[in-house]
A and B are shown apart, each in its own frame.
Chain A
Amino acid sequence: MRRRVVAVLAVLLAASTLTACGGGGGQTLTVFAASSLTGSFDTLASRFEQAHPGVTVRVSYDSSTTLAEQIAAGAPADVLATADQQSLVAVERGHDLAARPVQFARNTLVIVTPPSNPGHVSSVADLAHAAFVVCDPSAPCGAAAKTILHVAGITAKPKSYEADVKSVLAKVQLGDVDAGIVYVTDAKAAGTAVRTVAIPSRLDVTNPYFVAPVKGAAQPRLAREWVALVLSKGGQQVLRRAGFGPQQTPPSPRVTTQQGSGR
């Protein structure tokens, strides 16, 4: 059932791919990536194109679970980069990966408030008496936020379980809530539009990011080179600038976020 739904999505996606590269005669590398990678992978894509004249990089951003399902249904991807381990494991189990996935970054959560900080939020504990929103627990950012609130002993309920992290950020930016829990990369991308409050490392929940070339890729060589670029010093610098943490950190004992999508 689920497969069928996904297959339809994959066909639609394939159709949009065809439209997207209708004009060019060169090679196209298709990268499927978690939405939180948007800024960084856009930068890496232009670098890759500069280094490979005639090659066009097309990145499709979506939640990690959706991307994994699309690949399982035969969507034409060369590389997959996810914001969690779980969705990659599913793809790996279906023998759809050309190589073992490699962790290339990690992302942590922070509290953001409007610049004026109307709810006087300067710590996790302050959420108890503030109007705040989090992601829905079905998304990794929501599962992580739930863990943080639980460990911090906060029983106050959020105003809303937002569908994804971008909606949480939007509610804070519009000033409709006092605070929200988002990825540090989202907070960084928002710049001065939000004020960031760090979450102490004892509560910290980390999402590992993985990348792997996809089996049956139209561009297997380019796919391997993309993985290499992501892991290279330059690639890591781009990710670090966006706020991602370094790869290969030992997993924290409280990692409960390795499921669902990486939005």
Chain B
Amino acid sequence: MTRAWATHDPTARPNGQVFGRAPAALVIAGVIGFAFLVVPVVAVVAKAPWGSVAHELGNADVRTALWLSLATTAISAALCLVFGVPLAWALARVDFPGRRVARAFVTLPLVMPPVVGGVALLLAFGRTGLIGSWLDDAFGITVPFTTAAVVLAQTFVALPFMVISVEGAFRSTDVRYDDAAATLGASRLATFWHVTLPLAAPGIAAGTLLSWARALGEFGATITFAGNFPGVTRTMPLQIYIGLQSDPDAAIALSLVMIALSIVVLVALRERWITGVAP
């Protein structure tokens, strides 16, 4: 299979010169899709009690939740990177029996309702769980209701995003570079480290961003598996949910904070990593 197209950058050429005007049907569908994604965000911005945003940020509980969210999602994204990239590499480059089944299992947390994921984590790492009971007996470690549980919940739901984007990147880079490195005497690990990984860098950057974003918004698995205690497990999504019960306006102000945070990080990193690294 030829992959020559991968070596030149389609965006370098002005669209109009070769392809003519964009087809109206595609443009209209694209605009509808964009509007559907953006309108709810605009609604939050338009309806938000702007005056109370500053007030909410002054609230110690809110600041604690914000800090907890930032700290836990940074760790979760790092864990996704450390474990997700090798897993994606194995799925893309190693021929092993049951690879298709393994791939299906990797995507399972994507379709599983997060609350179900939380219950599954409790059954695995809970005090009476498969691994949790052993941890409890052998080391006296209880995982649920700890900040570590928040990280586990976030990583559980975010890891598939990393694996899918990175696997896609590995599969679309030319295997012949790997072959060439191997022919020149590089070990498989050296090939991975110096050839495969740099070629997949844009995909890895995208995967890291996606998994971080998924971890930041994570709610269901967290509240089920890690519980809800200020400063320990109450991340921003939980703070917002609890707020909705008693003070909806405050909850909307906090949603605004989270949206702003996501936009800043996504736009900044996307520009820098993805466009910057792309050929």
Binding site for B on A (CB under 8 A): 1-2, 4-5, 63, 65, 131, 133, 136, 138-139, 157-163, 167, 170-171, 174-177, 260-261
- A residues in contact with B224, CB < 8 Å: 167
- B residues in contact with A138, CB < 8 Å: 242, 245-246
Q: Which residues from 202 to 255 on chain B have a C-beta closer than 8 Å to any C-beta of chain A? A: 223-224, 226-229, 233-234, 241-242, 245-246, 248-249, 252
A6 to B, closest residue via Cβ:
B248
Task: Pick the contact of A162: B126, B127, B227 (CB < 8 A).
Answer: B227
- B residues in contact with A171, CB < 8 Å: 227
30 contacts between A and B (CB under 8 A): A1-B49, A1-B252, A2-B248, A2-B249, A4-B47, A5-B248, A63-B245, A65-B245, A131-B142, A136-B228, A139-B245, A157-B229, A159-B144, A160-B226, A160-B227, A161-B227, A161-B228, A161-B234, A162-B223, A162-B227, A162-B228, A163-B228, A171-B227, A174-B126, A174-B128, A176-B122, A176-B126, A176-B127, A176-B128, A260-B246
Question: Complex Cα distance A225/B127, Å?
Answer: 49
- A residues in contact with B226, CB < 8 Å: 160
Q: Do the beta carbons of A136 and B242 come within 8 Å of each other? A: yes
- A residues in contact with B49, CB < 8 Å: 1
- A residues in contact with B245, CB < 8 Å: 63, 65, 136, 138-139, 260-261
Q: How many residues of B contact A (CB 8 A)?
A: 26
CB distance from B195 to the nearest CB of A (A): 46
Residue interface bits B169-196, CB-to-A below 8 A is 1, else 0: 0000000000000000000000000000
Q: Which residues from 81 to 135 on chain B have a C-beta closer than 8 Å to any C-beta of chain A? A: 119, 122-123, 126-128
Q: Do the beta carbons of B228 and A175 come within 8 Å of each other? A: no
Task: Pick the contact of A163: B128, B223, B229, B246 (CB < 8 A).
Answer: B223
Q: Which residues from 41 to 94 on chain B have a C-beta closer than 8 Å to any C-beta of chain A? A: 47, 49
Question: Complex Cα distance A159/B230, Å?
Answer: 10
Question: Complex Cα distance A192/B179, Å?
Answer: 63
Q: Tell whether A174 pairs with B122 under 8 Å between CB atoms, given A2-B249, A163-B228.
A: yes
- B residues in contact with A174, CB < 8 Å: 122-123, 126, 128
Is B161's beta carbon under 8 Å from chain A? Answer: no
Is B145's beta carbon under 8 Å from chain A? Answer: yes
Q: Do the beta carbons of B227 and A159 come within 8 Å of each other? A: yes
Question: Complex Cα distance A199/B57, Å?
Answer: 39
Q: Tell whether A158 pairs with B242 under 8 Å between CB atoms, given A167-B224, A175-B128.
A: no
B243 to A, closest residue via Cβ:
A138
CB distance from A39 to the nearest CB of B (A): 22
Question: Complex Cα distance A176/B224, Å?
Answer: 11
